[in-house]
Structure 1
């Protein structure tokens, strides 16, 4: 809980800091949510199956010109990967999957360029604060969680690049797709990185 509070405060300070440099009368704030298809990639890890989870949080758009804005966000992001155990004789859930759950509070700060009215490209850095790490050998049930907090070797902070497309309608509703690639090594001295595809919707007030 302490990590959640501290990272959320950091995200709020980032939004307020960028907001101070723009015309506050034009700033929009909103909410968003969507689905994550997450995995890890790198030479030191043979690709597992992707984990399907979700993201949700707050977003702001701070315009500097008609076509250029800065878009900071504060999001919960469920990441990690699945391990297929269907060919092994064990006590796992019916579909044979084990989830390795790495969940973050993600704070992207994106440059947003409108190509045409409503349609924009976005890219920028993202800092993630790990708030949960566990193995769930019964992901279709409430049981099966093994907390790895005391045994973790993964880094607490993940630096990544986020890039994607968004279309915003006149009424404030928007849809977006995004890819996040982690530059940080998940485990020190090992070539393992987060890799997340996101699709979502949101609304600007």
Structure 2
């Protein structure tokens, strides 16, 4: 995982050096609507947030590479027990390929790598650390739409499908992150 992350960052920096004059740097943040599937007997969406930075690197014509570095709070709630919540916090690196369909509207797709920062289960006011039974990485695929105004303000909607986060060897259940993100950002 570390080699893949290092290779990705090194490649992005190399591309950035080639097109330095047209690179746009920005910040974004927004709402996460997340769940783990399958998990609890009666899962409900957990509402949380993501926040970070992004770089838009032109490749050819309307095609761009957009790596991001985000803090992303995810997890799930139990619909039948409002007090039970699983909270998973990640440092995420989505590497999106953006294609501008029209001047301002883009379609984006790409891999996302996540490093687990914390994992907690809260129930009836008590908190349990579950990091030892949660995988330390989450690798998945993201797909979304973006809209960028001429003044640098941009909006996005993205759906992320993650990998199995269950790290209990004798448990064969695959528990996967599912996150819908709505974001607002600004390119400087």
- After TM superposition, the score normalised by the length of structure 1 is 0.80
What corresponds to 1:3 in structure 2? none
What corresponds to 1:170 in structure 2? 150
Contact kept, 8 Å, 2:110 with 2:143, in 1: the verdict is yes
Deviation at 1:83, TM superposition (A): 1.4
Deviation at 1:47, TM superposition (A): 5.3
Hey, what's the Cα distance between the residues in 1 that align with 2:12 and 2:126?
Answer: 38
Deviation at 1:19, TM superposition (A): 1.4
Question: Kindly tell me: are residues 187 and 147 of structure 1, through their superposed partners in 2, closer, same or farther at Cα, counting changes over 3 Å?
Answer: closer
What corresponds to 2:27 in structure 1? 31
What corresponds to 1:148 in structure 2? 130
Hey, what's the Cα distance between the residues in 2 that align with 1:101 and 1:17?
Answer: 36
What is the aligned residue count? 180
Deviation at 1:64, TM superposition (A): 1.2
Contact kept, 8 Å, 2:42 with 2:80, in 1: the verdict is no
What corresponds to 2:186 in structure 1? 203
Structure 1 position 108 matched with structure 2 position 100: no
Higher strand share: 2
Unaligned runs of 5+ in 1: 1-5, 87-95
Question: Kindly tell me: are residues 191 and 45 of structure 1, through their superposed partners in 2, closer, same or farther at Cα, counting changes over 3 Å?
Answer: farther
SS of residue in 2 equivalent to 1:64: strand
Unaligned runs of 5+ in 2: none
Hey, what's the Cα distance between the residues in 1 that align with 2:112 and 2:11?
Answer: 12
Contact kept, 8 Å, 2:42 with 2:79, in 1: the verdict is no
Hey, what's the Cα distance between the residues in 2 that align with 1:159 and 1:100?
Answer: 19
Please give the residue correspondences for 1:15-164 in structure 2 after superposition, counting only pairs within 5 Å. Answer: 15-20=12-17, 22-42=18-38, 46=41, 48-86=43-81, 96-137=82-123, 144-149=126-131, 152-164=132-144
SS of residue in 1 equivalent to 2:13: helix
- After TM superposition, the score normalised by the length of structure 2 is 0.86
Hey, what's the Cα distance between the residues in 2 that align with 1:174 and 1:164?
Answer: 13
Q: After TM superposition, where is structure 1 displaced by more than 6 Å over at least 4 residues in a row? A: none
Hey, what's the Cα distance between the residues in 2 that align with 1:176 and 1:103?
Answer: 21
Question: Kindly tell me: are residues 147 and 173 of structure 1, through their superposed partners in 2, closer, same or farther at Cα, counting changes over 3 Å?
Answer: same
Supply the RMSD in Å over aligned alpha carbons.
Answer: 2.2
Structure 1 position 186 matched with structure 2 position 181: no
Superposed CA deviations along residues 50-69 of structure 1, whole A, max 9, x for unmatched, are 11000000000000122000
